[in-house]
Amino acid sequence: MKKKHIIRGLAATIIVAAMPLSLSACAKGGSTSSNNDNSGGPKTISMWTHNAGNKDELASIQAIVKDYNASQTGYKVDVQAFPQDSYNQSVVSAAAAKKLPCLLDIDGPNVPNWAWAGYLAPIEGMDDTFSKFLPTVLGKWNDKTYSYGFYDVALTMVTRKSILEKYGIRIPTIDKPWTKDELTAALDKIKASGDFQYPLDIATSFTGEWWPYAYSPFLQSFGGDLINRNDYKSADGVLNGPQAVEWAKWFHGLVTNKYVPLKSGTDPAADFMNGKTAILYNGSWTAVATRAKFKDVLFLPSVDLGQGPKIGGGSWQWGMSTNCANPEGAADYLKFAAQDKYVASVSKATTNIPATDAAAKMVPGFGPGQENEVFLNYAKKFAVLRPPTPGYTFIATEFTKTAQDILNGADPQQSLDQAVKDIDANQKSNNYFQ
Amino acid sequence: MSTTQTDPTPIAATAVAPPHGSKPIGRSPAAVAWLMLVPAGVLLITFLIIPIILTFILAFTNARLISPRPATFVGVDNFIRLFQDETFWASLRNTVVFAVVIVPVQSAIALGLAVLVNKKMRGINFFRTVYFLPVVTSIVVVSMLWLFMYQPNGLINAVLARFGIQGPDWLGNPNTALFAIIVLSIWQACGMHMIIWLSGLQTIPGELYEAAEIDGATKWQQFQHVTWPGLRPTAVFILITITIAAFSLFAQVNLMTQGGPLDATTTLVFMAVRVGFQQQQTGYASAISLVFFALVLIVTLIYRYLTRDKDAR
């Protein structure tokens, strides 16, 4: 009895003690908005970015903000940078607390998810500007544009001219890329020579978004896809159809035939430059380092596995939140930042593909006939957006796990069926994100 | 985890509480005791009790991490789905295998080390420190280091190659991945338990050994009849802490294998985190956590039964 009494007393005390705490927390949450400076002077527009760990990109964004703040007196943009690893979590928790900043950057494939969740507000009145941007840098959902990016990246097969010539392999072009059989024959020749540990490296050691970004284009080149793009309701037939099974067998075959390592080294680009691998499947971001190492480096189009080469599209993009006290200011900044000179400066800082043709002319290397023009052409010709559905974040994790299992020898049909089942269940349990 | 530490506070309170007298409430020792309980109580309730209650509720809803729609009650759907999920059974199996191997092996190695470093000799603190070093190193750092050592052409296989053994791709092979993680986990954590064993060893009075020696007991007999019985309370504590730590295996898996290859290293906690955060299914993840909670509860109750103090009855 005594003990029971004490426990009851304890509970009561704690509840009473906790109440003022939680009440004050509520009151605080209610009164603070994301913009606290409304008394005269310029209104503050808060901005979050993921690139705290990326000096060059951050500096280029800060330069735009500085120009913007100097160009007018109504608003003052205030940049806050986060490390990339914790950025998404910060945004999600800020959204839960209704404390999102006015402006924020978003990884392209996440845009529909955040738009659906009500984090992002559509960008109005910039359609003319957007018509000049690469379609893959625009974050669209339900016919509205929620974000735009300054740049895109392209996937490419990196190798050396001397390697291809030595083994008598045809140098593919954007109009006549390698076919599946040609690639196989090339890999066989290189493997037979024994000059390399592996003929090809597809960077399986990368984690996270790399898997769907880099390997779902192979699936699409076979004729499969991550989800049926007519209505985004089901993956049945596209992710587990005959083409998808063909893809899975081919993908696993890369490992069983010893064309690629099951698990790449921590830095596949370094392995390529050290002569361990002959061909490297990677993003255009490897261009700077590989060019510095080899004079005869080639950036080839990805392989045509049936439906033409495909590469992933969409990188980090900018949008505005629904939680902004000064939406006109945020929209004004987005218009200001979309100028070609800023597209050019950010692309240059990140050595990525400029999102507009006019900007491409201002960035060294991307002009007509210059060394980086191939990447722009690949992005224009081959890029496929990851499915713009709020369910993408789930699809991405399912695809990653399934692709990993397939590489490790899981039964293709069975694992793809399981992935389809899970994806369909998720789409359905969210009422198809209507 | 809570089960091991729920009791002390109320008991402490009873000890202070008794004198109910004529003093005004605000001054009575009981009131002071309650007041002192408040900080710990508030923290425990906010960060332990409320989340547990929330887990119980969320497990029966379709709550999501990001969604414009409120969660709705879905009954036992999450559990039906869970019990049909092969990854769940793989996670459960790996968690149990991990615990079943870790608990005896790690406590035995730690005891062996403790006996070794319990000698009185010069420089013994050096060895104690060496064995304890992995414990004070962050598990993240340890996992990254072993990740390099376990590479197909890493340190471990290079050493094996010297003896003419072709080592496997430790973390890439479904047959060796869990074993590899077990070895690293034991190496990392056994220093901690060595220290606990050591503290237990040092509570055993030296006279007992002298008496045993006079009676002609061998070293092994001394261990059997003096050391081991004297370590009983320590053993119970170590058993429970290792088991709970083993069940909550997460960091190594998340850093080294992400549950692969072919679900060979996925665990219940890893699965709950993956489902709850990466896949944003809060309700489903809560169901996994609830199953995990039940598992730990059952194991703890079994331990309490097995290690109950028989003399006290």
Is the omega angle on the peptide bond into residue B261 within 30 degrees of 0, that is, cis? yes
pLDDT band at B165 (very low <50, low <70, confident <90, very high): confident
The span from the CA of A321 to the CA of A96, in Å, is 13
- Distance between CA B252 and CA B89 in Å, rounded? 20
pLDDT value, residue A197? 93
The answer to whether position B153 is within a domain reads: yes
Integer angstrom CA distances of residue B217 from A74, A349, B203, B220: 91, 77, 20, 8
Distance CA B267, CA B87 (A): 9
Round to whole Å and give the CA distance between A186 and A199: 9
Q: Is B73 part of any domain?
A: no
Query: Does the pLDDT at position A29 exceed 70?
Result: no
- Give B117's pLDDT tier (boundaries 50, 70, 90): confident
At B120-136, the pLDDT tens digits run 778 888 888 888 888 88
Range in A5-9, B32-36, B209-213 the model is least confident about: A5-9
CA distance B180 to B143: 11
Tokens found for residue A397: 């994790």
> How much of chain A exceeds pLDDT 90, in percent?
68
Query: Residue A40 — very low, low, confident or very high, per pLDDT cuts 50/70/90?
Result: low
Do residues A196 and A271 lie in contact, with contact meaning Cβ atoms separated by under 8 Å? no
Q: Does A275 touch chain B (CB under 8 A)?
A: no
> Which DSSP category does B45 fall into?
I
Amino acid residing at B274: R
Give yes or no for residue A35 having a pLDDT over 60: no
Q: How confident is the model at residue A413 (pLDDT cuts 50, 70, 90)?
A: very high
Q: Which candidate in B38, B44, B87, B280 is best for mutational testing of the A interface (most A CBs within 10 A)? A: B280
DSSP A266: S
pLDDT for B68: 79
What DSSP character marks residue A131? T
**Would you call B151 and A21 a contact, using CB atoms and an 8 Å cutoff?**
no
The identity of residue A416, as a single letter, is L
- Answer with the residue of higher pLDDT: B249 or B24: B249
Residue A1's pLDDT is 42
The full DSSP string for A179-239 is BHHHHHHHHHHHHHHT-SSEEEE--TT--TTHHHHHHHHHHHHHT--SS-TTTSS--TTTT
Percentage of chain A exceeding pLDDT 70: 91
Concatenating the DSSP letter of every residue in B239-255 gives HHHHHHHHHT--HHHHH
In a domain, B164, yes or no: yes
| Integer Cα distance of A224 and A235 in angstroms | 10
Most confident of A31-35, A157-161, B205-209, B260-264: A157-161
Looking at residue A39, its pLDDT comes to 53
B17 is a domain residue: no
At residue B311, the pLDDT reads 56
Mean pLDDT in residue range A133-157: 93
Identify the three-state secondary structure at position B73. strand
- CB contact (8 A) between residue B37 and residue A10: yes
Please give the structure tokens belonging to residue B72: 């709705």
CATH of the domain at B287: 1.10.3720.10
Size of interface A-B (CB pairs under 8 A): 86
Contact B151 A3 (CB under 8 A): no
- Nearest CB partner across the interface for B68, out of A13, A117, A261: A117
DSSP A138: E
Cα distance from A63 to chain B (closest Cα, Å)? 33
pLDDT at B24: 54
Angle at Cα A200 formed by Cα A196 and Cα A205, nearest 5°?
110
- What is the structure's pLDDT at A429? 82
ipTM for the whole complex:
0.72
Nearest residue to A395 (alpha-carbon basis) of A135, A209, A144, A119: A209
CA distance to A68, B139, B286, per residue, from B146 (Å): 49, 10, 32
What is the DSSP secondary-structure string of A282-350? EEGGGHHHHHHH-TTEEEEPPPBSSS---EEE--EEEEEETT-S-HHHHHHHHHHHTSHHHHHHHHHHH
* Angle ∠(A390,B289,B139) on CA atoms, nearest 5: 95
Candidate from A118, A393, A408 with C-beta closest to B260 = A408
Which of chain A's residues have a Cβ under 8 Å away from the Cβ of B171?
263
Q: Which helix (H) or strand (E) holds A5?
A: helix A2-31
- Of A170-174, A188-192, B252-256, the range with the lowest mean pLDDT is B252-256
Residue A327 reports pLDDT greater than 80:
yes
The Cα of A16 is separated from the nearest Cα of chain B by a number of Å equal to: 10
Distance from the B42 Cα atom to the nearest Cα atom in chain A, whole angstroms? 6
CA distance A212 to B274: 16
Q: What is the pLDDT of residue A62?
A: 95
Q: What tokens were used for A137?
A: 């840098």
A343-357 burial: b if 16+ Cβ within 10 Å, else e? bbbbbbbbbbbbbbe
Percent of chain B residues past pLDDT 70, beyond the cut: 90
pLDDT confidence band for A308 (50 / 70 / 90):
very high
Q: What DSSP state is assigned to residue B276? A: I
Is pLDDT of B139 > 50? yes
Pairwise CA distance, residues B275 & B266, whole Å = 12
More confident residue, A28 or B186: B186
Measured over the CA atoms of residue A260, residue A265, residue A266 and residue A271, the dihedral's sign is negative
Torsion of CA A343, A109, A265, A400, to 10 degrees: -170
Q: Burial-class residue B255 by CB neighbours within 10 Å (0-12, 13-18, 19+).
A: middle
Q: Count up the domains in chain B and report the number.
A: 1
Question: Residue B48 falls within a domain, yes or no?
Answer: no
Range of the domain at B256: 79-312
Residue B259 lies in a domain: yes
Confidence category of residue B81, pLDDT binned at 50, 70, 90: confident
Is the Cβ pair B274, A262 closer than 8 Å?
no
Mean pLDDT, chain A, whole residue set:
88
Cα A354 from Cα B60, distance rounded (Å)? 48
Average model confidence (pLDDT) across chain B: 85
Who contacts A424 (Cβ-Cβ below 8 Å, separation ≥6)?
A: A233, A234, A235, A236
Nearest C-alpha in B relative to A1: B14
State mean pLDDT over A295-313: 94
Per-residue model confidence (pLDDT) at position A164: 95
pTM of the full predicted structure?
A: 0.79
pLDDT in tens, A62-98: 999 999 999 999 999 999 999 887 888 889 889 888 8
Nearest CB neighbour to B169, from listed A118, A262, A425: A262
Q: How confident is the model at residue A358 (pLDDT cuts 50, 70, 90)?
A: very high
Which strand (E) or helix (H) includes residue A158?
strand A155-160
Residue of B44, B66, B81, B140 best to disrupt the A interface, most CBs of A under 10 A = B66
* pLDDT class of A37 with cuts at 50, 70, 90: very low
Q: Per-residue pLDDT for B17 more than 80?
A: no
Residue B32 lies in a domain: no
Which 79-108 residues of chain A touch chain B by CB within 8 A?
89, 92, 95
B83 in a structural domain: yes
B interface test, pick of A321, A408, A426 with most B CB neighbours within 10 Å: A408
Mode of pairing for the β-strands spanning A316-321 and A297-300: unpaired
For the segment B153-160, the average pLDDT, to the nearest whole number, is 88
- pLDDT-derived band at A36 (thresholds 50, 70, 90) equals very low
By the CB < 8 Å criterion, does A1 face chain B?
no
Cβ neighbours of residue A319 closer than 8 Å, sequence gap 6 or more: A103, A104, A105, A106, A111, A120, A121, A123, A139, A146, A147, A148, A334
Residue B262 is nearest to which of A116, A408, A426, comparing CB atoms? A408
Which stretches of chain B are DSSP H helices?
A: 8-16, 29-44, 50-58, 77-83, 86-116, 124-136, 139-149, 155-162, 177-202, 206-214, 219-222, 228-230, 232-247, 251-256, 268-273, 282-306
Helix (H) or strand (E) holding A362, with range, is helix A357-362
3-state secondary structure of A106: strand
Rounded to the nearest 10 degrees, what angle do helices B282-306 and B50-58 cross at? 120
pLDDT at B232 over 90: no
Quick one: pLDDT band at residue B167, thresholds 50, 70, 90?
A: confident
